[in-house]
């Protein structure tokens, strides 16, 4: 039963990832944004574990566990702590209003699906159809980074983009070599810690987390 519906289930999880990417794009509140990010991580964990089970690739189990530990538990915990310390629970400001952002998001999804179609014809994996969705997730996270003005949502966008890349790797070629995966995971974790320190520096300097202040580099 599960073996038979396995690829369909992977497709379903891929759609849930895309749904969560859109939910993040339309979310105004920062706490919900972090929870959505954790949910996306959990979906990624489920789909990676499912692909591992379907194809018998044992190293994918390790990367699934890595996803669970890092993206579902560690990073959301760090982010929750950060926003509590920074005391930024209020609404997220967007540069473009949310309906317009969603419309641009739809255009990006169409673009990603069209781009991925010829590539996924070449791939021989059971998950080849999900490549378009993974690409769409990456582009949507990009869009989120561009359209938000505060530092914390931008960082969440960056982390979500990494989710999408990871998913693309699983979908197209059954995951990257273990060394690279560990390297990326470490990069993301260390990057998060550094960005956390950066938040405090930005706020200390400008009394706000709005990154538009950074465009002005000269001392006044």
Partner 1 sequence: MISLSGVAAQFTELALAVLLAPLLTGWVNQCRAWLQNRSAPPLLQPYRVLNKLFQKEVVLAYGASPLFRVAPYLIFGCLCAAAAIVPTLGTDLPLNAAADAIALVGLLALARMFIALAGMDVGTAFGTLGARREMLVGFLAEPALLMVLFTASLISNSTSLATIAATLAHKEFVIHPSLAFAGVAFTMVSLAENARIPVDNPATHLELTMIHEAMVLEYSGRHLAMIEWAASLKLFVYSCIGLVLFFPFGIASGGDWLGLVLALPALLGKLALGGALLALIEMLSAKMRIFRAPEFLGTAFLLAVLAMLVHVLLER
> Where on the chain is the footprint of partner 1 (CB under 8 A)?
5, 8-9, 11-12, 14-16, 18-19, 22, 26, 98-99, 102-103, 105-106, 109-110, 113, 117, 129-130, 132-133
- The phi, psi pair for 94, rounded to 5°, reads -115, 150
Give strand pairing partners of 148: 94
Q: Kindly tell me which of 109 and 169 has the beta carbon lying closer to partner 1.
A: 109
Q: Shortest Cβ distance from residue 189 to partner 1 (Å)?
A: 31
Would you call 94 helix, strand, or coil by DSSP?
strand
Q: Shortest Cβ distance from residue 11 to partner 1 (Å)?
A: 5
Q: Kindly tell me which of 117 and 214 has the beta carbon lying closer to partner 1.
A: 117
Q: Kindly tell me which of 115 and 165 has the beta carbon lying closer to partner 1.
A: 115
CB 133 within 8 A of CB 120: no
Q: Shortest Cβ distance from residue 192 to partner 1 (Å)?
A: 29
Q: Kindly tell me which of 43 and 63 has the beta carbon lying closer to partner 1.
A: 43
Q: Kindly tell me which of 11 and 208 has the beta carbon lying closer to partner 1.
A: 11
Task: Give the closest residue to 27 by CA, choosing from 133, 203, 157, 198.
Answer: 157
Q: Shortest Cβ distance from residue 130 to partner 1 (Å)?
A: 8
Q: Shortest Cβ distance from residue 215 to partner 1 (Å)?
A: 29
- The Cα diameter of the chain in Å comes to 68
Q: Shortest Cβ distance from residue 167 to partner 1 (Å)?
A: 14
In order, the DSSP letters of 9-76 are HHHHHHHHHHHHHHHHHH--BHHHHHHHHHHHHHHHHHHHHHHHHHHT-HHHHHHHHHHIIIIIIIHH
Helices and strands per DSSP (H, E), number in the chain: 8, 0
176's enclosing H/E stretch is none
How does DSSP classify residue 87? Answer: T
How does DSSP classify residue 174? Answer: S
């Amino acid at each position: 039963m599960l073996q038979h519906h396995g690829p369909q289930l992977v497709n379903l999880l891929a759609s849930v990832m895309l749904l969560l990417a859109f939910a993040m794009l339309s979310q105004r509140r920062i706490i919900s944004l972090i929870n959505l990010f954790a949910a996306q991580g959990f979906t990624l964990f489920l789909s990676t574990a499912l692909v591992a089970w379907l194809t018998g690739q044992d190293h994918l189990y390790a990367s699934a566990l890595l996803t669970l530990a890092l993206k579902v538990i560690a990073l959301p915990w760090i982010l929750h702590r950060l926003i509590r310390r920074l005391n930024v629970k209020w609404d997220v400001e967007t540069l473009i209003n949310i309906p317009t952002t969603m419309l641009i998001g739809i255009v990006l999804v169409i673009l990603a699906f069209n781009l991925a179609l010829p590539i996924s014809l070449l791939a021989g994996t059971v998950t080849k159809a999900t490549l378009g969705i993974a690409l769409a997730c990456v582009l949507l996270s990009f869009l989120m980074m561009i359209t938000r003005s505060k530092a914390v949502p931008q960082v969440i966008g960056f982390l979500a983009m990494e989710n999408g890349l990871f998913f693309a790797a699983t979908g197209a070629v059954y995951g990257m070599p273990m060394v690279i995966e560990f390297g990326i995971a470490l990069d993301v974790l260390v990057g998060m810690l550094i960005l956390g320190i950066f938040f405090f520096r930005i706020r200390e300097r400008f009394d706000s987390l709005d990154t538009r202040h950074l465009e002005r580099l000269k001392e006044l």
